[in-house]
Amino acid sequence: ETPGNTTLNVNSTHTGHLGMTTIINCNYNKTIERLALTVFLRREQLLCSYLNQLKSWKKQSCKENIKLIWIPETEEISFELVNLQINDTGVYTCAVERHAPPPVMVSVSCVRGPDGATTVLCTFKGFYPAAVEQAWIRDDKFITSFNPTHTFTHTQNLNTSHTFTHTQHLNTSTVHWNFSINPDGTHSLTSCLHLLTLTDEQGMYSCWVNHSSLNQPITVNISSTDCSEEK
C-alpha cells in the first residue's frame, strides 16, 4: 500500500433465504498504522458507512437492515444483513479507506524575559500514535528527555485525556511539557526549557524528536542569541 488514502475492495456474492441473515466480511491490511479508517458497503450505490477513529466507531449513514460487526481483538470488520428480502439480491462491495496521519511539524522558538532569563520552546504537532520521545540538547550535550507513555502509563490514558502536563526541575533549568489531543485525533507536545541562571546561557539549543511516523529523528536548532524580547 502507498501512503495517504488507500481503498481495498472485496466483491462477494452470497446466497440467502427470505427473512434470514447473512454476513459480508471486509478484508484489509491490519498491520499498517493508521489514524482512522472508513468502511463502506455498496451495492450499485452506498448502503452503509462507518468511521473508525482512535478505536471508536461512528455511523455516518446506514440502511436499517445493515449492522456493522467489529471485533477489536482481531480488528476484523464485517457487515450483517438482516431480514433478507428479494430486493436485497445483488453483488456487494466492501471498501476500507485508510486515512494516513497528516505531516508532522516540529518548530522551536526562544524568548527572553524582562529579567533577562531565557525560555526555549519546542512544539511537535500532528503526530499519531501517542508514543513519542523528545529531548533537549545544548551545544551537543544532553540536558533531559521526556516520553509521555513512560511517564503517564499508570496515571493517564493518552487516548482519552485531552491535555496534561509534566514538570522536571534541574540544577540550572526547569522543563515544562504539555501533551494534548487535537480535534482530529492527532497529538501535540510542547516543551518549554526555562533557564534559571543568567550567566553562561549562550549556546546552541537543539530539540530532538523521535516518533514512529518519522523516517528518522528530527533535530531543530536555535541559538540563544536569536531570542526575541518578551513584551
Range 6-99 has CATH code 3.20.20.70: no
- Fold held by 105-229: Immunoglobulin-like (2.60.40)
**Which residue in this structure is represented by grid cell 501535540?**
188
Q: What is the gyration radius of the CA atoms in the chain, in angstroms?
A: 25
The whole-number pLDDT of residue 86 equals 87
> 128-157: per-residue pLDDT in tens?
778 899 999 999 899 998 887 665 443 444
pLDDT-wise least confident of 30-34, 68-72, 227-231: 30-34
- Ranges 18-27, 128-137, 176-185: which has the least confidence: 176-185
**Which sequence spans correspond to the domains of the chain?**
6-99, 105-229
For residue 89, the tally of other CB atoms under 10 A from its CB is 12
Identical fold, 6-99 and 105-229: yes
**CA distances for 97 relative to 1, 25, 37, 48, 198, angstroms:** 11, 15, 5, 14, 54
Could you report the per-residue pLDDT of 197-220, keeping only the tens digit for each? 655 567 899 999 998 878 899 999
| Residue 162: all three cell numbers together | 485531552
Share of the chain above pLDDT 90, in %: 26
* The model scores a pTM over 0.85: no
Q: How many residues does the chain have?
A: 231
